[in-house]
Amino acid sequence: MTQESVVLQDLREGVLTLTMNRPDKLNAANDALLLGLLDALKKAERDDAVRVIVLTGAGRGFCAGQDLGDVSARDMGFAEHLKHTYNPLVSKMRSIEKPIVTAVNGVAAGAGASLALAGDIRLWSESAVFIEVFSNIALVPDSGSTWTLPRLVGFNKAFELMAFADRVDAAEGLRLGLCERVFPAASFMEDVRAYAEKLAARPVKALGLTKRALTKAMSSTLDEALEYEAHVQEIVGSGAEHAEGLAAFKERRPANFKGVNVTKG
């Protein structure tokens, strides 16, 4: 299958929905899917029409992890495979200065769990299941899970989830902080779209720099974070989005951030 057929794209109202499309395999990832996602993100990064990106899966699953048959068919070691596929994809998800919503509609296991965690906002269906399944086949969690999961649930809980490959349902995921919202399965994608469109109406440049500042602050001292906040505040403070926000405040009207040309300020 081609990258275009395993990664479906739909752009409406500023929201680009990327759908992993291997439903017969619960969207288990092969090279075409992973490289297709990376290519789509690179194009979305440059496209001013894209304000928010939603990543979800077709059918009953979000992503069941790596398609092990696809790996065994190639003469490539684990490290080389990760550096070729998952690592650049997760790195792009975390560095792109547009909000990424991971819409977990079903099982997210192994590397699929890592992709689910890599979003800026994680929305889960009531039917979502999260499993750090790596230890079941005597592997170490990869694709960013060792970085994201302990930051969400702490070292000890992350280790327990990884050691036992425990299944986490939506209610427990919400309690642990693995997702921000849980929506009914029957209306899941409608609820995700409404949420994403609301997010797309927010100031995209300011949110992009907020994402950059938060990511940088996770490995900074307080003084370094304060300095960087001042730096990015200077950038957005002289921009068109801030001007629109101030004008709307003074005129007592809703701000129209989607009408702002951020490439000009």
Higher pLDDT, 32 or 262: 32
As annotated, the residues of the chain forming the CATH 3.90.226.10 domain(s) are 3-200
Closest CA to 188 of 265, 135, 123: 123
CA distance 167 to 130: 6
| CA 173 vs CA 89, 122, 144, 156, 177: distances in Å | 24, 10, 18, 16, 6
Q: Is the pLDDT of residue 264 over 60?
A: no
Q: Is the pLDDT of residue 131 over 60?
A: yes
Reported as type and span, the H/E element at residue 27 is none
Closest CA to 120 of 134, 135, 106, 100: 100
36-64 per-position pLDDT tens digit: 999 999 999 999 999 999 999 999 999 99
Mean pLDDT check: name the lowest of 68-72, 145-149, 216-220.
68-72
As annotated, the residues of the chain forming the CATH 1.10.12.10 domain(s) are 204-264
Sign, CA torsion 81/108/93/36? positive
CA distance 205 to 261: 10
Task: Show Cβ contacts of residue 104 under 8 Å, excluding neighbours closer than 6 positions.
Answer: 56, 62, 116, 122, 123, 124, 125, 128, 130, 179
* Average pLDDT rounded to a whole number, residues 150-172: 97
Mean pLDDT check: name the lowest of 75-84, 116-125, 177-186, 195-204.
75-84
CA distance 19 to 24: 14
Structure confidence at residue 69 (pLDDT) = 78
Structure confidence at residue 57 (pLDDT) = 98
Structure confidence at residue 68 (pLDDT) = 84
Query: Domain 204-264 in CATH: superfamily?
Result: Lyase 2-enoyl-coa Hydratase, Chain  A, domain 2 (1.10.12.10)
Structure confidence at residue 72 (pLDDT) = 58
* Average pLDDT rounded to a whole number, residues 108-134: 98
What's the mean per-residue pLDDT of the chain?
95
Higher pLDDT, 183 or 264: 183
Structure confidence at residue 265 (pLDDT) = 46
Determine whether 175 is exposed, middle or buried from the number of CB atoms within 10 Å of its CB (0-12, 13-18, 19+). Answer: exposed
Fold of 3-200: 2-enoyl-CoA Hydratase; Chain A, domain 1 (3.90.226)
Q: What is the arrangement of strands in the sheet containing 52-57, beginning at the earlier edge strand? A: 7-12, 15-20, 52-57, 100-104, 121-125, 181-183
| CA 139 vs CA 132, 133, 144, 256: distances in Å | 10, 9, 14, 49
Grouping H, G, I as helix, E, B as strand and the rest as coil, residue 91 is helix
